[in-house]
Amino acid sequence: MGVMIPMKRERMLTIRVTDDEHARLLERCEGKQLAVWMRRVCLGEPVARSG
């Protein structure tokens, strides 16, 4: 089985949210990095597990 090399992410998305929306997003991501959580939710990508 070959080694999977992660693709370099070169694009950055910026979205504007209210303070309330930001707090709600942070609450939903349950302690994960918000970008990692949004990528998983929006794109269906699996979350890498450490350990």
Cα–Cα nearest to 34, from 42, 22, 26, 24: 26
- The single residue listed with the structure tokens 């089985």 is 1
- Of all residues in the chain, what percent carry a pLDDT higher than 70? 86
**Residue 9: its pLDDT value, please?**
87
Per-domain boundaries in the chain: 14-51
pLDDT in tens, 16-35: 999 999 999 999 998 889 99
pLDDT on residue 51 = 44
Confidence of residue 38 (pLDDT cuts 50, 70, 90): very high
User: Whole-structure pTM over 0.85, yes or no?
Assistant: no
